[in-house]
Structure formats: structure tokens, C-alpha cells
Amino acid sequence: MITAFLLRGLDRRALVFLAVLAAVAVVVPLLNLATPAGSGLHIPSYAVTLLGKYLCYALLALSVDLIWGFCGILSLGHGAFFALGGYAMGMYLMRQIGTRGVYGNPVLPDFMVFLNWKTLPWYWHGFDQFWFAAVMVLLVPGLLAFVFGWFAFRSRVTGVYLSIITQAMTFALLLAFFRNDMGFGGNNGLTDFKDILGFPIQDEGTRAGLFVATAVALGLGYLIASCVVRSKLGRVLVAVRDAESRTRFLGYRVEMYKLFVFTLSACMAGVAGALYVPQIGIINPSEFAPANSIEVVIWVAVGGRGTLIGAIIGAILVNFGKTWFTGVLPELWLFALGGLFVAVTLLLPKGIVGTATALWRGRRWRGPAATGEGTLAESGGDAEPPAAAPAAGPAAPERAS
Amino acid sequence: MLFRPPAIRRSRRPATRGLPGLLLLLGCLALFLAAGAARAQEAGDLRPLVDALGQGGFDFDKTETAIGSLAETGDPRVVPALEALSEGDLYVRKADHAVFIGKRGGAGYQLTDPLTGEAAGEAARGAVDKIRVNNNLRRAIRTALGGLTLRSRDPAQRRAAVQSVFDAADPEALEPLEAALAAEKDPGIAELMREARARILLNTPSADAGDRLDAVETLRARGDRDALAALSGLVAAPDGKVDPALRAAAAKAAGAIKENLALWEAAQNVWYGLSLGSVLLLAAIGLAITFGVMGVINMAHGEMVMLGAYTTFVVQQAIRGWAPELFAWSLWIALPLAFLVSAAVGAAIERCVIRFLYGRPLETLLATWGLSLMLQQAVRTLFGPTNKEVGAPDWMSGATHVGGLLITYNRLYIVIFALLVFAALLVLLKRSAFGLQMRAVTQNRRMAASMGIRTPWTDMLTFALGSGIAGIAGVALSQIDNVSPNLGQGYIIDSFMVVVFGGVGNLWGTLVGAFTLGIVNKFLEPYAGAVLGKVLVLVFIILFIQKRPRGLFALKGRAVDQ
């Protein structure tokens, strides 16, 4: 039944994407492991790790797109779920170090010995088991999202207000995780990992394995998201995005739909974080920084909000640009990123994929999908893209407050 | 009555009218009676005592006896000799065993007479011997000096001496202290001396029980931490050593002092909270206009604050270069310039970006975030990533005590300034034609346009106003924060919290929100620590938004819908 559900999510575009992803997941490790270092086809290990990082980001972007593109919830705190998943994985990796740490304590991680702690805090128990950590990777971000969403959606906190309090949430977590008393390594976070599931983490084979795992997770995430947005549930989500009050008046319990998709998205972000940490080798509180979460949103916007594939493309493109810029012209990276924010919102509101689709169909984009907050009735007749119609904005009768 | 200031303040209270003459007379009389005997000694009589310091050699006990007899004279003139001895600058001349203060100079030592301070010629290096001291002697000298400086002519020195006697609470200092107290003319210092005497009495189990009870009262009246420490020491003393009545009195007094101190501490926290609140108000008030009145999310608001701070820096650099005499006015010059710079940038942002995004708040948020990154990087490129030094004019530095409160001037001026800005903005919105147009556009854009208001123009001016006020805030914040390209980032989340908490579209809400958050934050700090306190405030706001999604002071009526 589940297979049938998943298969329903497949259309041509999804099939193409999954095929490409599968090819990448096979070819990249192969080229890394099977070819000699001097050969022209060889992919160096650092590149594998880098690509793995991009795929983690792509999964994170996918989770943001699921709620922002299809349900209109702009979360500026999704980095928090990402980081929480990462911390859960980091705690497992930390426990795996065992006696190989600087202080050689079999139970306590180094930073706890350093802080003169005598016993393991209760919330660190169980993380020596991989299955437990894996459950926590889903459970902790999911639970936080559930509780947060439960309060927020039930009291109908929407739009900008929701964005601001999600930002406050990740900021609060940032401050909290900086404290040494929290028992998560404070400023330095968790690092110095040795092995995962018994495989040394620096090993090329392990890295290739992690890369494949990330690609599989991304593919699964894409499938699930794609199924969700194609199901009846997905239709309701789009309805909530375009006309929340109307959907509610039609008898749908809007907050339940929002809560479901928000929690699902948080779990996806958590998985992305959990795969990110062993590849990068460190997790620290700066992952909670509000700026990171906002950056994720721009990946989605660049790729194309409301198109799942767009989020993935956007994440990979922007991060590739970031790697390139910070290597070549580090001074200009923030200008480029800032300019990207402005240019995309002004000139390319549908993102690369959305615009390409519109061009492919050979006609101007119609309908509300990209105009977001406007209702169906209001923006349905707005044939011009907003950038070409400066007067359209201020003349709109009611502005969202 | 609970808010009674600690007794230190009383020392500056002028004497009651009519009494000064009498007090003076009494003081003179006391001076003659008590100090007369000691003071009568001439420099000639002191000389042998000073010379005795040189007799000891390696026998430190002998030197200590000599120090003791010098201290017993109670004559302030022996102070330089003792100080020099403690510093190791006292020498004995081998020829006549006379003692001098020596400073290395020329081939040997420049000698001065320790009693008169007159130069006493030079001595070759071999002609004098240094008088040796050890730590034990240094302690003896300190005690002796403590007693002697109590009689110094300089009130500040006497004050310091009393304080050190109070801190030491050495029973041996009681006698010189009482003598000095009898001679003291300044009522403030006399009060301090009585307190020091009280503390010593509490430290002397052999003293009269009634005196010790009085001493408890005296310390209670002093009411500061030192007094509390002295009293608590008595309360905690082992059984059988302290009279139960005295212990009870001390416990009661300590309780009263604790209560009083706690209240002052609370008042201090309120002040810190007001100060933080005024900073938040300054940072948030411009946002309240753009976000509250216009419904525009300006994530680059913090960068407007930063631009204001950098304008201050540039103005001060220019003043330092060309007109240093204007430095005291630098902040006043920077204010209008900062307003203009930030307002111009704001107007440009509105014209180039935001006007295309009206009605799409989430896109506005992203675009302005991008602008904030670019502004930060631009400033970083122009001025460098390091903190810039923005000086404070003289009138901004310093502090004053109000009762038990410590109030620094820069914080005080910022509180006043924030309130002034708030009042000016309120008047502008409620009383000026521009304010009227702005409110009209906020309430009903189409109707306002039909009435002939140029709504795009109003939009631009409103945005420029909000940004300009952020620039002014930057001038104030440059006085208390690091001026760096990241300056604005630190304020943006807090200012959003203030506006959302206070209620969008309502300036009074912003005022109440800023001060509430500031005070709550500062009250949580002692219990939860600075970081956890802030986390708790954020959690509180997140929960509060659930309860009242439109903030404390929500707009009512039709304007609320969408």
C-alpha cells in the first residue's frame, strides 16, 4: 500500500530526477574509489564530501519548500530542526569515541570531563545505540515542530508573525546551546568524531557510503514530498496557502493540515542535519544562527518556490556559487548573496524552475502559485509579473499586515 | 521608609541650620582637650623617636617598638617617616645616627628631614645605611599609619583612613580612633568614625555590653554591605561567645539591612531595565513605523542603525581632523546627519525595491534581508571589519549616585533621548499634515488616494522617516555598543520582538513593549544568568504571541482585517 502511495507521486519529472540522483549516487563514489588518484576521471575525496554537503542542503531546502511553497508557511527557523537532527547524530558519534578521547573517559565526552562533570546527563543516555540516535533524529525536531506548530497554528499566528517567531525560536536555541550548562559542548559544539557504525569516519569508503546514504535520503524525501503534494492532502495545503480563510470556511481543519506538514518538514530537516554532521565532522551552535535559516529560504526562492525539484536545484546552485565565490572573491560573496535575494524576489519571483516551466509552456504564467500571499480572486487577474507592474503593488486594495 | 538610602549619603548632608556655630565651638574645644597633649610635642621632641628607628639594625623587634612609640605620639608629622620606612626609603646616617629620607640622586643620596621635609644635603653611598624592614614591620607600620592618618589635615585622607580602620576592625585601633573621633570636626567623617568604632566594638568581646548594643544600632544605620558583613559575622559567631541579647539585636539589624539592600538592588535592576528598554525603544521605534504603520518588514532596519553609528564615527573623525574644539558637540552634529544618511538610504531602498513588493510581506522580508547583507558588506569594505572607536564627549561620561543607585550619565542621557524621540514622533504623527496623510494611507489607501494624497510619495517619506529614526538610534547606540558592521544584526531580532509584543501599528505599544522587555530581561538576569534570561524572554514572547497574536495593544476595528 505504501509502495502504491509512493508510486503515485511519480511523474515524468520525478522519474528523471530520481534517475539522475541514482546515477550520481553510483557514479560519484565509483569515480572516487575505483579510479587512481592521477586519472582524469578521479573525483577527490573532498569533492565527495562537498557534494554530500550539497545534497544535505538540498534535503533541507526541500523541507522548507514543502511548507513554504505548498502551504505558505515561511519558516525562518528551519535551521533549528536541521541543527537538532545534527546534534542528535553528533551525540551518537560523541559516544562512539569512547576511550579514544583526549581524557580517555569511557563514558563521558571530553568536554564534560573538562567541565568536571561526574556523571552523564540523563538526556545523553541511549545515544550509544545507533537506532536510538536515529529515532531521536526524527523525534526531537518533529516533537519541537509539533509543539511549536500546535500552539502557533491553533492561535492562527500566520504570515510575517509566524516567520518572526520561528526566527525567535532558532535564536533562543542558538543562545541556549551556547551555554556550557546545557551539556552540548557549548561554544565548541561536538566534534573530533572517530567512527560511525564501526567504520572510521575519515575513511574514503565511509565517506562514499555517507554520500550514497545522503543521496538515498534525498531521493526518499523527494518521493515523500512529491506524494504529499500530489495527494488530496496536498491539494488542501495549496488551498490553505492561497486562501486560508476560505479553506477554513469550507470545513477543513486548516491547523491540522499545517501541523502535519510542518512536523513532516521538520523531520526531513532533522535527517538532513543528521547526515550533514558526520560528513562535515562538527556541529556547533552557529548552525542555529537565524541567518542560516534565511539563507535556506533563498535557495528555495532561487530554484523556484512550489516546485520540489526547484528547491533541490536552488540549494545546489547557490551553494556551489558560495563555494566558488568564497574561494575566489570572498569579499564579494555577501554582495552576491544579497543581490541574489533582491534580484530573485524582484525579477524572478517564480525561481529558475518556475520561470523555465512557464517558458516551456509557451505562455505567461497565470494563477496564484507564485504570487503567494494574494488570494485567488485578487491575483488571478494579474497577468503581469509584479516586477513589470510597479503600480500594481501600492494600488492593491488591502495589504496584508 | 524602607527605601532609606545607606548612611554614606548622610555625610554630605549640611548641618542643621543654627547649629553650626555651636558645633564649631564644641569642635574646637574637643580639639584642644583631646589632641592638645599629643600635639604639644615639638618637632624637637619627635626627633629622638624618629632616630630610634635607626637603632634597630637587624633586630626587628627593636624597630617595631620604635614604630609603636612613634604611633603613640599621634602626631601626623611622623607620617612621612613611617611611609618612607615602609617603602624602604629611610636611611640612617652613620656619622651621627640621625635618620633621613633618602632618594637616589647624583653620586649618593639626596637626604630630606623626615619631620620638617627640608632638604638635608647629600650623602655618599657608603655614609648611610638603609633601615631594613620585613613584612611583619610593614604590617605594624600600616596599623600605625592607620591611626595617624586619622588625624591628617586632608579630609579625603581622613576619610580613607577611617575606611581602612573600618575594614580592618582591629581592636588595637580603638584607642587612636576614639582620640581622632574626639578631635574630628567634620560631622560626616565623625559619623564614619563612629561606625568604625562600632565595628571594632563588635569585634571586641571584652567591651561593655551596652556599648556593643549601641554599636549594632550604629551599624544598622549605616546599612551597607560592610555593615551587613560585620553584623552577620556576629550572628554566626559560636554559641557562648556572644551574649544572646546582642546576637538577637544583630540578627534583627542584619535582617533590616538585607531588606533595605534588596530593595535598592531591585531599584537598580529597574534602572538597568529602563536603560535596556530605552535602547530597545530606540532600535524598535523606526521599525514600528515601517512594520507597524506600513506593514513592511524591513530586515535591513538594523543596518540603518549601523549607518547612523558609522555616520557618528565619520563626523567625529572629521572633527578631530579639522575642528577639535567642536568635539563636545560632535553628537549633536551627528544627529541630523545620521538622520539624513539613513533616511536617504531608506528612501532609495523604498523606491528601488520595496515599492514593487507591497502586498507581499514575505518577499519584502527576503529582499530587505538581501539588502542588509549588502549594506553590511559595503560598510565592511569601506571601513574594515574591526570595531571603530567612537569617543564620548565629556558630558556623556561619569556617573552619579542616587541613594543606593549607580547611574551612569551616558545611560541616563540615552533614556531621556529615547523618550524625546518617542514624543517627537508621536507629535509628528498626530499633529502634522504629513502624519495625517500617513495615517490616512495606512487606514485606507484608495480613499486617501481619492482625496488627493500622493500615496507613493507618502510611502516613500514614511519609510525614510522610519529609517532616519533608526539612524538617530545609531548615534545613541554608538555610545554604548561596539561600532562594527554587525552592530545592526544584534538588534534586529530584539526590535522585532518589541514591535510584535507591543502590538503592530501602535507607537504606545512599542514604548510599553520596549520597557517591559527591558525590565523583565534585567530582572531575570540575576536568577537565570544573562543568556538563559534572554532565552526565557524569547520563549515568553513566543507563548505570548499565541495568546494575543496582535500584541499588547492591538488595533481594533476594520483596519485589523488583513
Min distance A306 CA to chain B CA atoms (Å)? 14
Quick one: closest CA in B to A72, which residue?
Answer: B362
> Are B448 and B333 contained in the same domain?
yes
pLDDT value at residue B3: 43
Phi, then psi, of B114 in degrees rounded to 5: -70, -25
pLDDT surpasses 50 at B410:
yes
Beta-bridge partners for B402: B405
For residue B162, give its domain range: 7-199
pLDDT per position as a tens digit, A121-179: 999 998 989 999 999 999 999 999 999 999 889 888 888 888 888 998 999 999 899 98
Which of B368, B438, B532, B546 has the most A C-beta neighbours within 10 Å, making it the best mutation to test the interface with A? B546
The set of cell numbers assigned to A299 is: 535557495
Residue showing cell 529615547: B418
Cβ proximity of A278 and A56 under 8 Å:
no
Give B190-194's long-range contacts (Cβ < 8 A, gap of 24+): B191/B7, B191/B10, B191/B11, B192/B11, B192/B159, B192/B162, B192/B163, B192/B166, B193/B150, B193/B162, B194/B218
| Candidate from A334, A338, A401 with C-beta closest to B295 | A401
Mean pLDDT of chain A: 85
Write down the pLDDT at residue B242. 72
- Across the interface, of A301, A334, A397, the residue whose CB is closest to B366 is A301
CB contact under 8 A, A372 and B546: no
pLDDT per residue as tens digits for the range A57-81: 999 999 999 999 999 999 999 999 9
What's the Cα-to-Cα distance from A335 to each of A226, A320, A325, B52, B343, rounded to whole Å?
A: 34, 16, 10, 80, 22
Angle subtended at Cα B519 by Cα B513 and Cα B524, rounded to the nearest 5 degrees = 120
Average pLDDT over residues B233-251: 76
Give me the percent of chain B exceeding a pLDDT of 90.
19
Chain B stretch 527-556, residues whose beta carbon is closer than 8 A to a beta carbon of chain A: 529, 531-532, 534-535, 538-539, 541-543, 545-547, 549
Residue B82 lies in a domain: yes
Please give the residue of chain B at the shortest CA–CA distance from A151.
Answer: B546
Residue (of A266, A129, A267, A101) closest to A185 by Cα position:
A101
- Does the structure show a pLDDT above 60 at A399? no
Q: How confident is the model at residue B15 (pLDDT cuts 50, 70, 90)?
A: very low
DSSP single-letter state for residue B288:
I
CA distance A394 to chain B (A): 6
User: Which one of B370, B489, B542 has the shortest CB-CB distance to A165?
Assistant: B542
Q: Across the interface, which of B356, B539, B543 has its CB nearest the CB of A387?
A: B356
By Cβ distance, the residue of A160, A334, A401 closest to B373 is A334
Amino acid at A255: E
Asked if B370 and A338 come within 8 Å (Cβ–Cβ), the reply is yes
Phi, psi of A196 (to 5 degrees): -130, 125
Residue among A85, A280, A287, A86 at smallest CA distance from A201: A280
State pLDDT tens for residues A79-117. Answer: 999 999 999 999 999 988 888 888 888 888 888 888 888
**Interface test mutation site (partner B, options A341, A347, A382, max chain B beta carbons within 10 A):** A341
Is B328 in CB contact (< 8 Å) with chain A? no
Q: How far is CA B228 from the centre of its chain?
A: 22
| B391 part of a folded domain | yes
Which SS3 state, helix, strand or coil, does residue A231 take? coil
B417-464 confidence digits (pLDDT tens): 999 999 999 999 889 999 999 888 877 888 889 999 998 899 899 999
Residue range B124-169, pLDDT digits in tens: 777 888 887 887 788 778 777 776 777 777 777 778 778 877 877 7
Q: Are strands B90-93 and A282-283 parallel, antiparallel or unpaired?
A: unpaired
Domain with residue B317: its CATH number is: 1.10.3470
* Neighbour tally for B398: CB within 10 Å: 12
Instruction: Give the domain-ending residue among B199, B215, B233.
Output: B199
Q: Is residue B145 part of a domain?
A: yes
A:B CB pairs within 8 Å: 173
Contact state of B366 with A395 under an 8 Å Cβ cutoff: no
ipTM above 0.85, yes or no: no
Same domain for B418 and B533?
yes
| Residue B431 to residues B136, B286, B423, B439, Cα–Cα distance (Å) | 76, 18, 12, 11
Which of B380, B500, B534 is the closest to A161 by Cβ?
Answer: B500
State the amino acid at position A297 in one-letter form: V
Which chain B residues touch A179 with a CB distance below 8 Å? 529, 531-532
Restricting to B residues 353-372, those with a Cβ less than 8 Å away from any Cβ of A are 353, 355-367, 369-372
Sketch the domain layout of chain A as residue ranges. 2-382
Cα gap B105→B124, rounded to integer Å: 10
Residues B318 and B467 grouped into a single domain: yes
Whether residue B54 is contained in a domain is answered as yes
Closest residue of A to B494, CA-based? A168
What is the maximal distance between C-alpha atoms in chain B? Answer: 109
List of chain A residues whose C-beta atoms are within 8 Å of the C-beta of residue B375:
338
Q: With beta carbons under 8 A apart, name residues in chain B contacting A372.
A: 360, 362-363
| CB contact (8 A) between residue A346 and residue B370 | no
Highest mean pLDDT among A92-96, A270-274, A341-345, B518-522: A270-274
Residue type, B351: R
Domain count, chain B: 2
Q: Are A211 and A55 spatial neighbours (Cβ–Cβ below 8 Å)?
A: yes
Q: How far apart (Å, rounded) are the C-alpha atoms in residues A111 and A184?
A: 9
User: Do B90 and B169 have their domain in common?
Assistant: yes
The dihedrals phi and psi of B122, each to the nearest 5 degrees, come to: -115, 160
Band (pLDDT 50/70/90 cuts) for residue B531 is confident
Instruction: Tell whether B503 and B411 lie within a shared domain.
Output: yes
Q: Do B361 and A159 touch (CB under 8 A)?
A: yes
Residue B222: inside a domain: no
B545 phi, psi to nearest 5 deg: -60, -35
